[in-house]
Amino acid sequence: MTQYMFVLGKNWILSIAELIACLENRGINVKITDHSRTMAIVDIDQTLDDESLAEIQTALGGAYKIGTTVMVLERNLVKRAFPKRGSYKSRERDRLLKCPWVEIVWPKPQGKRVEFGVSAYPLSNRDNIDLSRLTKILSEAMKHRLLDRGARKAAYYLYSEPDRRDPDRPPTALWPQTISKHNLLRPPNAEILIGIMDSDVYIGRTLVVYDSMLQQYRDEARPFVTSEISTSPKICRTLLNLAGVKEGDTVLDPFCGTGTLLMEAALQGIRVRGIDLDPDAAQGARTNLRWLGQELGQQIDYSIIRGDARQVHELLKESVEGIATEPHLGPVWTEKPDRDTAISTMRELTKLYNEALKSMVQVLRDDGKIAMTLPVIQSTGGVVRMDTRPLLKGTGLEIYRLIPKDVVRSVMKKDKDLVLRPERERIPERKWGQVVQRDVIVIGRG
């Protein structure tokens, strides 16, 4: 058994649900041993090789770093050594500054030039451990430990400026770009991960990080983009994992737009089928997939049909292993509509999805899953959500629970917002400032 540390995306619950689905789709048994709002500690009954880890990381939309645990410390020790308020306890700090994990990560540093970084992830935004001081002081202490143990050179990188787009992100961790730029994953270099949980602190070493440069290139260089309707590639990857598709499978996106989800799928070697009512969007998706094939220098198995999602069973002449989609979410509002308008839009969308689901189910393999987003409209008279009963009526489909009960080891959480509820059927995916927010659901034949 090996214990892995997954640094979670901003939507931590969705990241965990996706992670479980992604690993289980690959036949890997997982147990979530512990988690915070920023990290999941996952026990896996096998050791994953570098290739599998890289493939899993590429497939994930949420978690963006994978590491392995080296040591577990008591939270109380770390809290006393680096409290956010009040004075620290010297005995505890001295103990921590011995950095016992250095000997495990670098058993033979003699004569080597070592560059490293320390990235710490809090329990939540309210964590009362001073991670900023901890990363700086521990980095310096580790440098000295390495030099004392015979390293020729030891240098570290500290986190860069906080991200303007994501001020909630803890400014105590290195970005994947920084890690790649300085080759911190190539031994003897290393990134040390610190995950603060309720009662324990996990110390580990990063094995793989998400290639954000590649993502940026794909987003910016692809020929056809319509930002108004485009779905983020991250959420697309999450939907693909929740739909249970992987290399060699065929996935359908019946509201494919310009094909963001299909491109993410094609990159993973998944065969892609797309349908869209708008001829420009359908043509855009074709152009994007052709471009991707040229960029990758390989043949992509794709087909895009201009048509109505309610007629999937007539348009598509084959069955698919999974369906993943961000459907048409209604009008693009710049201001909140009134409640009646929101309710009547929701009714229309429910009808559209219900008819589309009745058609989709006919091309879906027996054990196939449908992962999709549902609109959540912020009206002037409150939030309007879609009722799943009329959505699923007459489809023979049922809604799945997103966090399987047997996968989560119950861990005491003092903060009730941190409890992972296995009965959850929808997970919100919020985008700041948008009138139409989304919930993610997974449905299937049960």
Ligand X SMILES: C[S@@+](CC[C@H](N)C(=O)[O-])C[C@H]1O[C@@H](n2cnc3c(N)ncnc32)[C@H](O)[C@@H]1O
Cβ closest to ligand X, residue 39 vs residue 436? 436
Residue 436 C-beta: closest distance to ligand X, Å: 10
Task: Count CA atoms closer than 13 A to 163's CA, side-chain side.
Answer: 12
Q: Which of 174, 178, 170 is nearest to 196 (CA)?
A: 170
Cβ closest to ligand X, residue 187 vs residue 331? 331
Q: What is d(CA 339, CA 383) in angstroms, rounded to the nearest whole number?
A: 8
Q: What is d(CA 206, CA 192) in angstroms, rounded to the nearest whole number?
A: 6
Residue 282 C-beta: closest distance to ligand X, Å: 8
Residue 302 pairs with which residues in a beta bridge?
A: 272
Helix (H), strand (E) at residue 391:
helix 388-392
Residue 275 C-beta: closest distance to ligand X, Å: 6
CA torsion through residues 353, 356, 360, 361, sign: positive
Cβ closest to ligand X, residue 139 vs residue 260? 260
Q: Based on C-alpha coordinates, what's the Rg of the chain?
A: 23
Q: Tell how strand 113-121 and strand 190-196 pair up.
A: parallel
Cα dist from 42 to 28, 36, 202, 242, whole Å = 11, 12, 12, 18
- H-assigned helices in 369-434: 388-392
Cβ closest to ligand X, residue 295 vs residue 415? 295
Binding site for ligand X (CB under 6 A): 229-231, 254-261, 275-278, 281, 308-310, 326-329
CA torsion through residues 428, 431, 433, 436, sign: negative
Residue 352 C-beta: closest distance to ligand X, Å: 6
Buried b (16+ CB within 10 A) or exposed e, 28-61: bebbbbbbbbbbbbbbbeeebeeeebbbbbbbbb
- Comparing every residue's Cβ against ligand X, the nearest one is 257
Residue 346 C-beta: closest distance to ligand X, Å: 15
Q: Which of 3, 5, 9, 411 is nearest to 238 (CA)?
A: 9
Residue 126 C-beta: closest distance to ligand X, Å: 35
Instruction: Give how far the C-alpha of residue 61 lies from the chain's centroid of Cα atoms, to the nearest Å.
Output: 4
Residue 224 C-beta: closest distance to ligand X, Å: 9
**Degrees, nearest 5: CA angle 202-203-205:** 130
Cβ closest to ligand X, residue 64 vs residue 255? 255
Residue 284 C-beta: closest distance to ligand X, Å: 8
Cβ closest to ligand X, residue 11 vs residue 206? 11
Cβ closest to ligand X, residue 375 vs residue 444? 375
Cβ closest to ligand X, residue 40 vs residue 59? 59
Cα dist from 306 to 189, 274, 315, whole Å = 51, 8, 9
Token pair 């991707």 is found at 292
Cβ closest to ligand X, residue 277 vs residue 419? 277
Residue 390 C-beta: closest distance to ligand X, Å: 17
Tokens matching residue 1: 């058994």
Q: Which of 52, 31, 50 is nearest to 42 (CA)?
A: 31
Cβ closest to ligand X, residue 78 vs residue 252? 252
Tokens matching residue 183: 């080759």
Residue 239 C-beta: closest distance to ligand X, Å: 9
